[in-house]
Chains A and B, each alone.
Chain A
Amino acid sequence: MLETNKPINQNDLVVMEGIYKSFPGVQALENVNFTLKPGEIHALVGENGAGKSTLIKVMTGVERQDQGTVFLEGKEVFIKSPLHAQTMGISTVYQEVNLCDYLTVAENILLGREPRKAGRIDWKGMFQRAEQVLREMDIEIDVTQPLGSYSTAIQQVTAIARALEVSNARVIILDEPTSSLDAHGTEQIFRVMEKLKKSGAGIIFITHFIDQVYSVSDRITVLRNGKLVGTFETATLTRMELIAKMIGRSLADYDDMTAIKLETRKNIKEEALLSTDDLGLSGAIEPFDIELHAGEVVGVAGLLGSGRTEMAKLIFGIDQPDSGVITMEGQQVEEHSPLNAIELGVALCPEDRKAEGIADELTVRENIILALQAHQGWFKYLSPPKQYEIAEKYIQLLNITTPSADQPVKNLSGGNQQKVILARWLATNPKLLILDEPTRGIDVGAKAEIQKLVLLLAEEGKSCLFISSELDEVLRTSHRIVVMRDKKKITEYTGELREGEIMKAIGGSE
């Protein structure tokens, strides 16, 4: 039954070939190949929605691929569940450690395979064994203490130790292990990774920190929009090239948008609709100034974790700033709350539409009128005919593909769901629309449509703050671009937008 064009290298730990996986409304993986060699640290990078986690889920049996084959040490395997993956030597260590924090470190490492004497647990032997395992990774701690009393880094090391000790893991997947760690914790994890590598294990390292990719990895696989961009030797790929591959750029169908953009540029109002002065929140984003004008699309570019979303949250009042002021139409904003922001005519389409935006079980109509109804107050009830009128208007205006306004939103594709959210906020007739990753996880056609829509909204005199991890898209849609890096506003670009320059600003100069 095995049909492969090229023979599988028996030495490779994991080979994934032609993996396809789709979820309703989105092609999460499309013909992705991936190879993990023994004794390497392989970084898996890509922006949100690139398909990293789906690929890992396929590898660890959380999801089954629609097409494609997985080979483990040269043999084709069907991974049924995470537990099954573990027994085959594939272990994942998540950022949120899946261990028991009330139990001792030793138990967490050895439970299920603890040393026993005459049928009873040999506690002394267990503590010694656990200490020994950790010492091999250069970690010296009191293993008799509950796991919960240690730092996240130590907990992750404990999880790695368990993977090695109980499951004899050969493949270790570290999913964003360092994102909640300080420098010291990161250093600890890196040391452990180097040790594992020397012992011949294969390590997949998922991260969005470019620096860390370069400090530990041997090879890098880049995914974008569910497709494989390529696998590269870390030593031969420059930082700039890597970022270019992650965020992607293409000059195709650039002209169409450029024309609209030139057209709409004339309508941009002189005075600012909203401006911030030293607005900041320590730990989240450093103080920044920004001016948003009616009729203008301002793009926000930057990598994940650069402070893009934090900026949106501050302006919309979800987070309370600890410095600076917001001025809306010449008036200083006194109260920082989403309620007040809506009152002033600001709307926010959040980044994670599943978790924060869409009410899955409700119909298209109910979703559209949700914000308007809240805006009007619950006592001024919108009559059903009025509701249908509004819903129909936006279904037509935004070209939402749905059999009827009474369709539950969960049955719609990702792009159409996104449009429903957009419609919800447009219904309140906002002056400023903040779009956080409005095209994430939706297909290319729908993306282009939404981008165009954003420009048309600007033409109508609305001000848009357009946040996206795809530089290509930001370039196409925005009149002006703000670049974020390391939780800081780095610079702004107007007029002729040059992607090379912007990319350099995003990645930090070398």
Chain B
Amino acid sequence: MAQRFKTFLISNGPLLTTILIFIIVYIVGGQLYPAMQKSQVFFNLFINNASLLIISIGLTLVIIAKGIDLSVAGMIALTSAASAALLQTGMSAYVVIPLMLLMGIVIGFVMGWIIHYFKVQPFIVTLMGLWFARGMAYIITLTSLTINDDVYRHLALTKLYLADKAYVYIPTLIGPVLLLITFYIMKYTRLGRTVYAVGNNEESARLMGLPVGRTKLIVYSFGGFCSALGGIVFSINLLSGYGGYAPGMELDAIASVVIGGTLLTGGVGNVIGTLFGVLINGTIVTILQFNGTLSSWWTRIMVGALTLIFIGIQSLFYMRQKHS
């Protein structure tokens, strides 16, 4: 039993570390600012970071497959601008939303296709994707467009009350639901395990007879889907669309994924960890907001430092595992 427990600790070390850090950061915050102990503050983490969680889930899969997707925040901006523009023409939200998701899948697929078949670095291809998405968003509109669609307003303003009078909004739930689905796919389907194999060693995966190309295309398409979904949630939250939205959010997403225990070198990772990566990010922001005097840029510095520490811990951890 003790042996079992030890192996469990070793194989889930990075994930447990992330959860532990989240708890510590949250408790410290609660001690400093007792108002943070209210349950609504906790749920606000989910409300405020709904888009970040969604794009980070997509990004987790891409990184596990040894890729990277820098286009995620650009896609949020493009989706918000495009959907706002379409809704202003009077198009139904029930048409706009599927259309946006389809656009995300197509852009993700094209990037994956270029990466796989032309053997271009994912970094370069998705950087182009980022520019394309932001550029298109600004071409659609140079100013912020308001959304007055009834469906969007309904989704944005309906509060769902949970225990203790705390509430969340409907779009807040999308991230957690997506998380559960993705967790299942990654753990219990051949596709999920193949993603790990491809990220671990693409050549080996090919020699093992696994469908490497197809898997990579699916992963990038899923990444695009998540970005578009994140963009829809983002525009529902703000009820507007604009090309300048979510500046630099791709870096928050990468940081969340890494803090969540996913190896940037591929093959190892978990979406549950990503959830806690996002929550840690959100908690730091919350603490700084409660403080009120510190510059909000401290968030970036703190998150940057944490990311660095985590990458350090990871290399040590996997180096040791290799040698044992």
Contact = CB atoms under 8 A, between A and B. Distances in A.
Interface of A: 82-83, 86-87, 98-103, 107-108, 111-112, 114, 116, 119-121, 123, 142, 144-146, 148-149, 162, 166-167
Given A103-B193, A107-B193, 13 more contacts: A83-B206, A83-B207, A99-B208, A100-B197, A101-B200, A103-B196, A103-B200, A111-B193, A112-B190, A112-B194, A114-B193, A119-B189, A145-B11
B11 A146 contact: yes
A116 to B, nearest CB: 8
Given A86-B209, A167-B209, A98 B268 contact: no
A439 to B, nearest CB: 33
Nearest to B200: A100
Query: Main SS of the interface on chain A?
Result: mixed
Nearest to A87: B209
Contacts of B267: 100, 102-103
A121 B189 contact: yes
Query: Main SS of the interface on chain B?
Result: helix
B196 A121 contact: no
Contacts, number: 77
B196 A98 contact: no
B158 interface: no
Contact-size category for B: 20 to 34
Contact of B204 (A99, A121, A144, A145): A99
A149 to B, nearest CB: 6
B297 interface: no
A108 B184 CA distance: 20
Contact of B322 (A82, A121, A144, A148): A148
B205 A100 contact: yes
Interface in B255-289: 267-268
A112 B322 CA distance: 25
Contacts of A166: 208-209
B214 to A, nearest CB: 13
Contacts of B189: 119-121
B7 interface: yes
A162 B208 contact: yes
A121 B200 contact: no
Contacts of A112: 190, 194, 208-210
Interface in B308-324: 321-322, 324
B204 A100 contact: yes
B200 A102 contact: yes
Contacts of A87: 209
Nearest to B3: A142
Given A100-B267, A102-B200, A102-B268, A82 B207 contact: yes
Interface string B191-235: 001101100110111111110000000000000000000000000
Nearest to B206: A83
B204 A98 contact: yes
Contacts of A100: 196-197, 200-201, 204-205, 208, 267
Contact of B321 (A82, A146, A167): A146
Contact of A98 (B190, B193, B194, B203): B203
22 contacts: A98-B201, A98-B204, A100-B200, A100-B201, A100-B267, A101-B200, A102-B200, A103-B196, A103-B267, A107-B193, A111-B190, A111-B197, A112-B190, A112-B194, A120-B188, A121-B189, A121-B193, A145-B11, A148-B322, A149-B321, A149-B324, A166-B208
B283 to A, nearest CB: 29
A167 B196 CA distance: 21
A129 to B, nearest CB: 15
B96 to A, nearest CB: 33
A83 B203 CA distance: 12
A82 B208 CA distance: 10
A114 B196 CA distance: 15
Contacts of A82: 207
A353 B193 CA distance: 41
For the complex of A and B, 8 pairs with smallest distance between CB atoms: A100-B200, A120-B188, A102-B267, A98-B204, A98-B207, A102-B200, A100-B197, A121-B188
